[in-house]
Structure 1
Amino acid sequence: MKKRDLAAIGFMTFALFLGAGNLIFPPLMAQQAGDYWLIAIAGFLLTAVGLPALTIIVLGQLSSAEKLTSALPTWMNRTFWFLVLTTLGPAFVLPRAVTVAYEMGIKPFTDANLLLPFSILFCFITLLLALKPGKLLDYIGKVMTPTLIAMLTLLVVAALVNPLGTSLPATQDYLEQPIVNGLIQGYMTLDAIAAVAFGWVIINTIKSKGVTSKADLARYSKWIALIYVVLMSLCYLAMGYLGATSSTIAPNAANGGEILTRYAAGEFGYAGQLLLAGITLMACLTTTVGLTNANAEYYRNTYNVPFYRSVIIVTVLTAAVSNVGLEQIITVSLPAILILCPIAIALILSIIFLPKRAINAGLQSRVVIAATIFGSIDAFSVLDMIPAALNVQFNQWLPLYEYHLSWLIPVAILFVGLKITQRTQPTACAETV
């Protein structure tokens, strides 16, 4: 593969992950962390960037995204991918990307309600770009991403030259545990599960450049993950700096979007609002194209549904959900994503820590079941759906429960037990990966 193509795929990967939500998280966190914002961002990067990068590397070693779950029973395998791609697709993330693009990119400039025509146009553009998967590298990696980076750089350079304030005193949480809270916020971006979905796009793009051997796929995936880590880390640091220096322009902001909006207007006036609108629209579009493509790839590979038909269905559903009952859909879909995220991470860790001969249907199923049970507890805790009395018991007896990571210790114990079992019974399991 040419170095130019490798760099373009790395740029494309960065753009796929960079949705509006990724721009909004760091500014508010950095403002709340105050003087400790760099420590908080360090923790944030470990989970928000480290987990997706690890997923890209593992999927590259497997040479195919579907091999992540190939050892599972068919019903469990297909259920996992269906839920992941549906919730990251037309049931939640895609409609949210459309509405965020409208709220931050269009609504500030008009009093009219233009969500319906905007969503139709936005989804139609997504449809046109996603229908040509072989051109994704040209559209996103070589054109859209450099444009997005240029716009972000303009805003950040202006902030470096003319910061609009200094850091505020840290809130109590960040004063006591800045790095821990950064780790949690990074985990809650849920980009680890997005990486599983984007794996379909990234691996296929590498293969489209004539790469066929497993060794080359693994090697190029590592380079792509490195490019992604560098670009996304710089972006998060830049957004964090905006939040940390927003005390004058947006003190006590309600969310990161408010900080970015006021900062852009404070630096450039009306032109700054246009700049932020362009950044938001571009970031949301690259995400919708990537997720639509991932859905279509899955249904083509698994159920032989024609690619174009899947793309049309996904974009039509996305446009519809963007306008009808999005809040209700979020209420239903968010718990699913919060549960699926630890399952996806546990599956990635199983590939890393368990020997290949240990990964069969029975053992990987146990990993999924453990992650599902304890991940469900974490999900309902995040959503404040745990009864008060039970919440007290979980806080007392479940390690890491207060950090919404109670699934981690049971899964780690399971890995240790499985490794011990494999050493005492070396022929018990057949290699399936």
Structure 2
Amino acid sequence: MILKRLRDITTIGFALFAMFFGAGNLLLPPFIGLQIGNHVWITILAFGLTGILLPFLGILSVTNSGDSFDDLGHRINKNLAAILGSVIMICIGPLIALPRTAATTFEVGVLPSFPNSNPVWTSILFFSITWLFSIVPSKVVDLVGNILTPFLLFVLIILIGMGIANPIADLQLEMLSSQEAFTLGFIEGYQTLDVLASVIFAGIIISATKAKGYDSIAEKNKVVIASGALAAACLFFIYGGLIYLGATSNIENTDISRSALLIHISNSILGKYGTLAIAISIALACLTTAIALTTAVGTFFSKLTNGKLGYKLLVTASCLVSGVLSVTGVDNIIQFAYPPLAFVYPIVITLVLYIVIFGRFVKTKLPYILALIASTVIAALNVMKILGVLHADILAWFNHIPFFAYELGWVVPSFVFFVIGIIMESLSFRHSR
């Protein structure tokens, strides 16, 4: 029984790791490392909070609420699951994650070998294959994915191990303050999209856990938590190692593209054959990720509209929109994604944290609703700051909100409004008696 549980935890844990570890995420940590000088550990910690810990808590928030994201949303408001779920699916689908898979494939998998190639043709071919496999689901995708993920992991472990044992260069002098490095790591963790994905993926992991015979709530939670911890440990090693490789990359030009930086690091440590192995595995891993995401988007919105929008129409539209956005390039997609993610992330983080921390004790809906409203307002103000539409005097006033200058201004207001909601519910209960 113990051996079976260990085997199941390992299987589910690596499956969860594969879901979170999109090949596009490879480009984020080295670029962070390039900018932080010797503040490696504080940046790894910050990136780990939004890129690893919060996705793990996202899984927990769903397991504490039921079996799917719908159960989590319904704890707050019956319409929340539909609205927030739609926003999440658009972000991890055609707006950000899907275009990034094709752009990453071109910049890392194609461009190094074919310098004169055109991203338009790569995008057309990439999303034609994605469309074909999404319209007609095939086990080939699972088969290729199950082979590619271990292979890519194997190459990355060698890359990181050799890079730590024999760094390209020493850590550079301080380029940012420790607070700036922490903020950079924390905010860049948004770009993994893993907190958004976690509340969707949770249902898949819970279903897999039940299919292996863990039906009781206690058993289900133990297996899901252990599997999540295993996935988190793997992510910490990969992300932390890549940040360190970026910090020791010996690149002085911080305007280098994320793709070029990864290629430089792999070339310096593994040589041209190692770079080729990474390029091929990333390209194919991006393709399988794109097929999975496209299928998920089509299924979600088809179900949400009760079939009024057909699955094939949604898949086709998703591929077309993603194809157009992908030719703008990885760096432009990441830059474009910053404002929408800066708005959505605080809302989802508030939902996840408050359900995990207070879910067992606070059963009424009003405190959570008020906390989410507070986070939404502050997130909107933060986006206005990012876009530069706030007057300097107004911005100076909002900077008095605790942590607002570090884009964490939602933390204190959401908690204050949560407490106000508890007080209001308590007064209402006493009055009704």
The TM-score with structure 2 as length reference comes to 0.84
Q: Decide whether the 8 Å contact of 1:382 with 1:404 is kept in 2.
A: no
CA RMSD in angstroms comes to: 3.5
Q: Is this contact kept in 1: 2:37–2:176, CA < 8 A?
A: no
Distance in 1 (alpha carbons) for counterparts of 2:130 and 2:157: 25
Residue deviations 1:214-270 (CA, integer Å, cap 9, x gap): 3333222212211111110000121022112212xx233325433321122223433
User: Superposition pairs for residues 18-417 of structure 1, below 5 Å?
Assistant: 18-61=21-64, 62-127=66-131, 132=137, 140=145, 142-174=146-178, 178-179=181-182, 181-187=184-190, 189-209=192-212, 211-247=214-250, 250-254=251-255, 255-299=257-301, 301-305=303-307, 310-323=314-327, 334-355=338-359, 358-360=362-364, 362-395=366-399, 397-417=400-420
Distance 1:238 1:404 in 2: 26
Which residue identity lines up with residue 407 of structure 1 in the other structure?
W
| 1:378 shift after superposition | 1.8
Between 310-319 and 399-408, the greater mean CA deviation after superposition: 310-319
CA 1:6–1:301: 2 relative to 1, 3 Å: farther
CA separation of 1:104/1:68 partners in 2, compared to 1, >3 Å: closer, same or farther? Answer: same
| Contact 1:98–1:284 (CA under 8 A) maintained in structure 2 | yes
Q: Check 1:413–1:133 CA distance in 2 against 1; reply closer, same or farther (3 A cut).
A: farther
Other structure's SS at 1:46 match: helix
Alpha-carbon shift at residue 166 of structure 1 (Å): 0.8
User: For the residues of structure 2 that align with 1:326 and 1:221, how far apart are their CA atoms?
Assistant: 33
1:374, distance to aligned residue in structure 2 (A): 0.7
Q: Which amino acid aligns with 2:420?
A: G
Structure 1 residues 301 and 240: alpha-carbon distance in aligned structure 2, compared to 1, 3 A threshold: same
Measure, in 2, the Cα distance between the counterparts of 1:258 and 1:388.
Answer: 36
Q: Are the equivalent residues in 1 in contact too, given 2:75–2:365 (CA < 8 A)?
A: yes
Name the % identity: 27
Q: Per the alignment, do residues 53 and 226 of structure 1 end up closer, same or farther by CA in structure 2, a change over 3 Å counting?
A: same
Q: Residues of 2 paired with 1:203 and 1:129: CA distance?
A: 25
Aligned 8 A contact 1:134 1:205 in 2: no
* C-alpha separation in 2, matches of 1:154 and 1:331: 30
CA spacing shift, 1:231–1:427, aligned 2, 3 Å: farther
Change (3 A) 1:105 1:45: same
User: Counterpart of 1:63 in 2: which secondary structure?
Assistant: coil
Q: Which amino acid aligns with 2:53?
A: G
1:45 Cα shift?
Answer: 1.6
Deviation at 1:411, TM superposition (A): 0.6
Aligned partner letter, 2:219: D
Cα 1:196–1:286, aligned 2, differ >3 Å: closer, same or farther? Answer: farther
What is the alpha-carbon distance in structure 1 between the residues aligned to residue 371 and residue 165 of structure 2? 50
Checking the alignment, whether the CA contact within 8 Å between 2:94 and 2:321 is kept in structure 1 is yes
Q: Give structure 1 stretches of 5+ with no counterpart.
A: none
> What is the rounded CA distance, in whole Å, between the counterparts of 1:325 and 1:127 in structure 2?
20
1:405 positional shift? 1.0
Find the aligned partners of 2:234 and 2:190 in 1 and give their Cα distance: 18
CA distance in 2: counterparts of 1:428 and 1:303, whole angstroms: 41
SS of aligned partner of 1:49 = helix
What is the deviation of 1:390?
1.8
Structure 2 counterpart of 1:215, one-letter code: A
Deviation at 1:53, TM superposition (A): 0.8
Shift in Å, 1:400: 0.7
CA shift at 1:67, angstroms?
1.2
Name the stretch that deviates more: 412-421 or 309-318. Answer: 309-318
Secondary structure of the residue aligned to 1:251 is coil
Q: TM-score with structure 1 length normalisation?
A: 0.84
Number of aligned residues: 424
In 2, Cα distance between equivalents of 1:149 and 1:326: 22
Give the letter for the 2:122 counterpart: F
Distance (whole Å) between structure 2 residues aligned to residue 402 and residue 133 of structure 1: 48
Amino acid at match of 2:396: V
User: Match for 2:267: what amino acid?
Assistant: A
